[in-house]
């Protein structure tokens, strides 16, 4: 190919791309406007919650705490329980029940050893789950049936409580006059993969659920966190217990929405220094853990799931690509590119996690989440040796 012919071809290619860009400008402007609006909505929610979303603080409630049962479902938690049990035993609960849910490891032995030193701690042996039950829901129901307290505090084995946590939970439950009260623990992360995915839990909560919406008659605003839920026994009975959500893999949100329909009040707080958790160890575990429930969060719809994945790449990764191009909407893309990291910074400030350098990961976070979407696209989820539809 001669030099002149090569130059002509390059010129024709450049003209073709210029024509494509001109034709795509209206669409590019519309998408950049939608992305910018999305970030502004998020920022508005975050600023509201920075001022109003409660964080647990040490201190007793003005109302005496009723007899309390701390209830811990445990399946293959022999590695985590040695970290969790000291914090549980530091709480002034009248009883602490741990249910061994058919574990294949030394979960029962770990609990039994600790129970020999504190009579409030009792090990329960779980019964095989009936058809249609999610394992955790069945374990929680068995715990509630065995409990003697008037305040039932369901606490996951990956949660660590500092001294004063139970009194702080009760103080906030009283302050918010909540029948069903839950805590979003401060999420501890130990690897880059965890830092990419785990903070999204707090980001979704604090961006899209202004705390005052908990009292609004909006079904989507009813939420709870199963890592730590405190429920008055009368409210638990009115809900129908975990039996009412036996087959729901996202049982905490299902309980919250059922509570809203029944006229029960909801409450939420951040864990701060008093309630912390490390949900998963490593990127692969985080993908598996998030993947088991993401489909349910998207209404069990593959179409909605796919649209969500595309949208998040468009909202967080694509602005950094488009902001460098000479397009009419470059300014909108540039603002959107900056707002994403700012949002992560604000979330980390509010939760007290620190790790402000995580904001630099925002452009690749949506890409890192794609394996979660792919796993969630399956119609079954596998977790701790069990398979759920």
Q: What is the pLDDT of residue 40?
A: 96
Residues 6+ apart with CB under 8 A from 106: 78
Identify whether 160 is part of a domain.
yes
Q: How far is CA 337 from CA 32, 38, 58, 134, in A?
A: 10, 12, 38, 40
| In-domain check, residue 3 | no
| Pair 96, 187 in one domain | yes
- pLDDT, tens digit (0-9, with 9 covering 90-100), for 329-388: 678 889 999 999 999 999 999 999 998 999 999 999 999 999 999 999 987 877 777 777
Task: Tell me which of 231, 247, 280 is where a domain ends.
Answer: 280
Provide the percentage of residues in the chain whose pLDDT is more than 90: 78
For 197, the domain range is 68-280
Q: What is the pLDDT of residues 140-170, one digit of tens each?
A: 999 999 999 999 999 999 999 999 999 999 9
Residues 207-220 as b or e (16 or more Cβ within 10 Å = b)? bbbbbeebeeeeee
Does a structural domain hold residue 317?
Answer: yes
User: What is the Cα–Cα distance from 298 to 81, expressed in whole angstroms?
Assistant: 32
Same domain? 91 vs 200: yes
Note whether 106 and 236 are same-domain residues.
yes
Whole-number pLDDT of residue 229? 98
CATH number for the domain including 142? 3.90.550.10
Domain count, the chain: 2
Give the end of a domain, one of 257, 280, 303. Answer: 280
In a domain, residue 60? The reply is: no
Q: Based on the domain organization, do 114 and 175 belong to the same domain?
A: yes
* 38 and 97, same domain (yes or no): no
With cut-offs at 50, 70 and 90, classify the pLDDT of residue 220. confident
Please name the residues in contact with 25: beta carbons below 8 A apart, sequence gap of 6 or more.
327, 328, 329
Looking at the structure, do residues 137 and 255 belong to the same domain, yes or no?
yes
At residue 23, the pLDDT reads 54
**Buried (b) or exposed (e) across 318-357, using 16+ Cβ within 10 A?**
bbbebbeeebebbebbbbbbebbbebbbbbbebbebeeee
**185 and 152 in a common domain:** yes
**387 assigned to some structural domain:** no
**How far apart are the C-alpha atoms of 111 and 124, rounded to whole Å?**
10
Task: Identify whether residues 248 and 106 lie together within a single domain.
Answer: yes
Rounded to an integer, what distance in angstroms lies between the CA atom of residue 256 and that of residue 219? Answer: 9
Co-location of 292 and 275 in the same domain: no
pLDDT category of residue 323 using cuts at 50, 70 and 90: confident
Q: What is the DSSP letter of 77?
A: -
DSSP 8-state code for residue 299: T
φ, ψ of residue 65 to 5 degrees: the values are -75, 135
Together in a domain, 146 and 228: yes
Q: Say yes or no: 264 and 329 in one domain.
A: no
Q: How far is CA 383 from the centre of its chain?
A: 17
| pLDDT value for 304 | 94
Instruction: Give dist(CA 242, CA 136) in Å, integer.
Output: 9
**In 3D, which of 84, 91, 70 has the Cα closest to residue 153?**
70
| Residue length of the chain | 389
Q: Are residues 232 and 317 in the same domain?
A: no
**Domain's final residue, options 280, 303, 318:** 280
């Amino acid at each position: 190919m001669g030099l002149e012919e090569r130059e002509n071809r390059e010129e024709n290619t450049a003209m073709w791309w210029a024509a494509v860009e001109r034709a795509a400008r209206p669409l590019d402007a519309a998408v950049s406007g939608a992305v910018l609006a999305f970030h502004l909505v998020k920022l508005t929610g975050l600023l509201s919650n920075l001022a109003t979303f409660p964080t647990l603080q040490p201190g007793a409630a003005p109302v005496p705490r009723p007899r309390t049962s701390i209830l811990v479902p445990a399946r293959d938690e022999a590695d985590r329980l040695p970290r969790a049990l000291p914090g549980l035993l530091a709480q002034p609960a009248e009883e602490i029940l741990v249910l061994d849910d058919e574990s294949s490891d030394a979960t029962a032995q770990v609990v039994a050893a600790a129970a020999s030193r504190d009579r409030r701690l009792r090990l329960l042996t779980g019964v095989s789950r009936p058809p249609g039950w999610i394992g955790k829901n069945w374990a929680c129901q068995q715990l509630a049936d065995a409990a003697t307290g008037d305040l039932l505090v369901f606490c996951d084995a990956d949660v660590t409580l500092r001294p004063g946590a139970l009194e702080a939970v009760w103080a906030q439950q009283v302050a918010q006059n909540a029948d069903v009260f839950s805590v979003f623990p401060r999420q501890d992360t130990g690897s880059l993969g965890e830092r990419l995915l785990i903070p999204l839990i707090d980001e979704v909560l604090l961006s899209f659920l202004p705390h005052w919406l908990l009292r609004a008659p909006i079904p989507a605003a009813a939420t709870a966190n199963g890592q730590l839920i405190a429920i008055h026994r009368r409210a638990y009975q009115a809900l129908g217990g975990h039996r009412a959500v036996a087959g729901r893999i996202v049982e905490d949100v299902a309980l919250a929405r059922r509570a809203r329909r029944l006229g029960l009040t909801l409450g939420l707080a951040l864990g701060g220094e008093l309630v912390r958790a490390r949900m998963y160890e490593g990127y692969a575990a985080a993908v598996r853990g998030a993947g088991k429930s993401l489909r349910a969060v998207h209404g069990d719809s593959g179409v909605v799931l796919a649209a969500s994945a595309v949208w998040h790449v468009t909202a967080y990764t694509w602005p950094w690509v488009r902001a460098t191009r000479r397009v009419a909407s470059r300014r909108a893309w540039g603002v959107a590119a900056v707002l994403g990291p700012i949002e992560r910074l604000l979330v980390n400030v509010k939760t007290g996690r620190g790790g402000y350098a995580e904001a630099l990961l925002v452009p690749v976070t949506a890409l890192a989440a794609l394996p979660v979407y792919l796993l969630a696209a399956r119609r079954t989820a596998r977790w701790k040796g069990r398979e759920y539809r």
